[in-house]
A and B are shown apart, each in its own frame.
Chain A
Amino acid sequence: MSGVGVLAFPLMILVYIAAAVAGVWLVIKILSGLGWLVGALFTGVGRVIGHVFGFARNEISDVVRAAGGMLTALIFAPLVGLNVVIGRWSKATHYGAALESELATAGQALYRAVVGNPARLLGLTGLTEGLERRLPEVLAHAPGPDRPNRRTGEFEGYKVVGSLPSGGSGARLFLAEPGSEKLEQFRRLGRTSPRRVVIKSFSLADGSTMPQIVRESRALEAARQLGLVVEHELTSNRFHYVMPYVPGDDLSITTRRMHESCGADGLDDRRTRLTLAYAADLLGTLRRFHGSGLWHKDVKPSNIIISDGQVHLVDLGLMTPLQSAMTLTTHGTEYFRDPEMVRLALKGVKVHEVDGVKFDVYSAGAVLFSVLENSFPAHGSLSKITKRCPEALRWIVRRAMADMNNRYGSSAEMLADIEAVRSARNPFKVLPAELPSVSGRPHVVAEVEADTRPDAEPLGADPWEDHRRRWGWGGSTRRQHQAAATKVAQQGDKAAGKVKRPSRTHGALRGLVGGAAALLIVAVFLGGAMRHQYEQQNREVARSGPRFELPVTGHETVWAPTPSRAVPHARGRSTPLPLGDGRRVLLVDDLSSSATARVHGEFDEIAGLLNGAGFAVLGTGDSPLDDEQEISLLASARSRVGLSDPFIEESGPPLMDFVSEQGEAVEALLWFGSGPDENSYRVRLVAPDTETRDALRVIVSHAQRP
């Protein structure tokens, strides 16, 4: 008992001490909490007082400013009137501009005093946001007058039907329709004959400056040869040039819409495919520019128009010959312009001393970033891609925006990487190491076609098997990539909730299944008993469309093989070709007589395959039409492109129009033309219907020879 008493005493002491410590701790906490509350209260009150004082200060400042503006305007007003009365127009215009400016200043100050400041005081900034931000933005981007003014006069041969927002070039943009004489003139000269054009007009009387005119005019001839400019003219009071009108939304609007449909995580599979297609289109265009010795210099989303699913690079305002002897300027658009260009411009280097191609490549990377992120690369090459994006595409963007020495050397190099991702069945399974620029292995553009064949391996198969077979990978590298592909595939499956654990019997089982399938196919072919089922399946494959969704371009140059670009071909595989179902395809044969027998042979083979697949082939002499009808159709198709090159982008829309207008009489068109040498040729495929287009692409690809 005494032992317990001995122990109880120190225990009691400890309890008291603990209680005292806890009590002190509690008091401190309460006091500190109270202190924080009082502090917060004072801070809050201080902020409110500061806010109110700020409001008062702003009110006084704005009221004084408004009064000052009106007072100055009152002085200018009689000066304007007086100069109008005595006919001094230049002075009147000068004072008028100053009067306008003062009134605007006074108006803005008055608005802030009456609406803006009180709204901010009450925390209602959201209410005035539309007035303060969106309204001025919309007003600033409103189109100009619908007619050229009297001083500059009309544009001969064109009927002006409207105007477009001017942008920052100092020019006025008019929407016009060429008259019949003008169209005839274009046809005679072999130029593009657009139905609608945009006329960009510079006039000193309208406020344009000589440097603007000089800048715009320096690359026009090259642009005309590219089909970007129809004609240009310099008169004593005006300089203008005419471009084909491309209706459609710009890429920034398209990007916003795509992200609105997909949610905050980023683009879904379909839109990622679409982005890849846009990127490929843009880089193809840039390749043409650079090949013609031109540097666009202002590649950005608002200068990219999406029309009929195709990308059109517009605004030639800063376009510069790559070999220009002029001094490099900093013109361009922030975030889409390489900072290195600004640095070099500040050093005063000449255009031909820098690699303008790489600056366009940087901009293309920045554009791609903006589409993926729905934002702009605020940190240049260090910008973070946070939204859903294939790893290989992330790599491409970073490489395009890397330092000059590390960047892609050309748009073609970047395009090859894009095509490698685009042609994969699942772009998310492509590894950076597989890109042509990393692996050092070239990517053949026509492989896209091979992948779209209906007998292509089903989704879910090892995505790298084709590449390995194609390039003959082996050894440790091969094993490494197999492991990588398997890992990524497993990750993808895991994400999709369908993990399959590998088993030892898996290989044997697959062998058995493969053997059984082979026996089945042999039985089908030998017996013919399943002929009907095969055709049915084939029809379904053709109708199900491509393995991936291409943009609905409607027209494309599908094939331009040369001996050096010959593609591996799966000849000998039991390829189930899509069925034609009697659809009418018009073949336009523009092959040169000097083309080799091989080229002519392949044309014949394609025609034969089309016949065999059940298409009604027009234009080859075997058609169901009589000669006169057939000649009339061919002439009609040819007249749509006039003397222009049917394979350039601008020829696509008129040919699409032609096919669309024919209805069931012509459902697709295949235009064959010679390539750069006698061993190559080009095919332009025009088909408004996706299913028909995909079926034709498969057949054309099938006829390829290695």
Chain B
Amino acid sequence: MLSDLTTHFIGRLRARDPAAWFELWENFGPILRAQLSKWGRGRIGVETVQDLSQETMAALSNAIDRHDPDRGARFSTWLLAIAKHTLGGEMDRRMALKRGAGKKPVALEEGWMAAATGVSPDGRYERMVFGAKVEAAIRAVEREIEFMDFSVYRMRVFDGVSGKEVALSLGVSEPTVSRRLASVRKRLREKLSEVVGRYSFTADEVDELERNGLSLNPSKSADALFDEALAEIYHEQMNLRQEDHESPAD
């Protein structure tokens, strides 16, 4: 059973709300691209993938109606199924263009879809999708709060700078650093709950937060663990994406 947040979001996607599509692509597009590149195993070039990404978002909207999330699939699987379906359609469209209209579209290697058939998303992909949800929540908080507040949290938690040094570096007092940390942490918890709720189709996906140490209930001991877990996921997400960029075709 989908949550209200998810149902509302899917509704927006089906209503062709460009903001919803943009949000989806901004948060998960890079992961899909990396995954599809890997599946292509050198058959689909980096430039082709990037070129596809410009149009994929619009093309995705035509595919969403055909995929019913109520069948019990995970959000991550659903996402990848749509992307594969869409890219397959996009490839057909391009081939038709290439043959019919006398235009010269970007070369699209055809063999990669065959290579991708039957391949299911692995644990790494699942991890990246969860990381992307967390990243989306962090990004949303960064957009909504003061730059200085977010910088305090970023330096203290993500960069691992001590509270005293953060205070010295930014010209504020240590109690101010503590207050700002608490305020940002509160916003992060709210946003994590919202974002993960929106992008989850199964209870198992919603539980991923707690399983990864991101307790949504504030307490002194939980706060430290929360920060630690969030920093770990943030760094892991950065590294995973970096690795994908370095070896897009594996």
Contacts and interface: CB of A to CB of B under 8 A. Distances in A.
Interface in B16-30: 18-19, 21-22, 26, 30
Given A97-B104, A384-B158, A398-B151, A438 B241 contact: no
B41 A431 contact: no
B142 interface: yes
A406 B147 contact: yes
A380 interface: yes
B139 A378 contact: no
Which interface residue of B42, B99, B158 has the most chain A CB atoms within 10 A?
B42
Contacts of A376: 245
A142 B89 CA distance: 31
B54 to A, nearest CB: 7
A443 B26 CA distance: 37
B26 A57 contact: no
Interface string A475-492: 001001101100100000
B110 A343 contact: no
B61 to A, nearest CB: 12
Given A58-B114, A375-B245, A383-B238, A439 B171 contact: yes
B14 to A, nearest CB: 17
A403 interface: yes
Contact of B139 (A61, A104, A382): A382
A342 B41 CA distance: 30
B170 interface: yes
A133 B143 contact: no
B104 A105 contact: no
A125 B115 CA distance: 16
Given A97-B102, A343-B19, A378-B241, A431 B169 contact: yes
B245 A378 contact: yes
B169 A484 contact: yes
B104 A101 contact: yes
Nearest to A346: B18
A54 interface: yes
A58 B115 contact: yes
Contact of A406 (B18, B98, B104, B146): B146
Nearest to A491: B165
B143 A379 contact: no
Contact of B171 (A105, A399, A438): A438
Contacts of A54: 115
A62 B111 contact: yes
A433 B171 contact: yes
B42 A403 contact: no
A421 to B, nearest CB: 14
Interface in B201-243: 234-235, 237-238, 241-242
B160 to A, nearest CB: 12
Given A54-B115, A65-B111, A104-B107, A136 B139 contact: no
Contacts of A498: none
B194 interface: no
A433 B147 contact: no
Contacts of A65: 110-111
Interface string A379-399: 111111000000100010011
B168 A431 contact: yes
Nearest to B23: A343
Nearest to B101: A94
Interface in A28-70: 54, 57-58, 61-62, 65
A588 interface: no
A120 B238 contact: no
Main secondary structure of the interface of A (DSSP, over half): helix
Interface string A97-121: 1100100110011001000100010
A433 B45 contact: no
A96 to B, nearest CB: 10
B60 interface: no
A320 B233 CA distance: 40
Interface residues of B, number: 47
B109 A101 contact: no
Contacts of A58: 111, 114-115
Interface string B89-118: 000000000110010100101110011000
Contacts of A399: 147
Interface string A418-443: 00000000000001111000110000
Contacts of B237: 379
A464 to B, nearest CB: 12
Contact of A480 (B50, B102, B135, B171): B171
A334 interface: yes
B168 A330 contact: no
Contact of B45 (A57, A116, A136, A402): A136
Which interface residue of B99, B151, B158, B249 has the most chain A CB atoms within 10 A?
B151
B238 A379 contact: yes
A109 B135 CA distance: 40
Nearest to A62: B111
Interface in B64-112: 98-99, 102, 104, 107, 109-111
Contact of B109 (A108, A382, A403): A108
A438 B151 CA distance: 12
A487 B245 contact: no
B138 interface: yes
A116 B42 contact: yes
Contacts of B53: 334
A9 B216 CA distance: 56
B180 interface: no
Contacts of B54: 330
Interface in A163-193: none
B109 A433 contact: no
Given A330-B54, A346-B19, A406-B147, A105 B99 contact: no
A108 B111 CA distance: 10
B43 interface: yes
Nearest to B57: A346
Contacts of B249: 125, 133
A132 interface: yes
Contacts of B154: 398
Interface string A77-110: 0000000000000000010011001001100110
Contacts of B150: 406
A487 B171 contact: no
Given A346-B21, A379-B238, 4 more contacts: A94-B102, A382-B138, A383-B238, A483-B168
6 contacts: A101-B99, A112-B43, A379-B135, A395-B151, A438-B171, A477-B171
Top 8 A-B residue pairs of the complex, sorted by shortest distance between their CB atoms: A433-B171, A406-B147, A484-B168, A346-B18, A403-B143, A94-B102, A384-B238, A61-B114
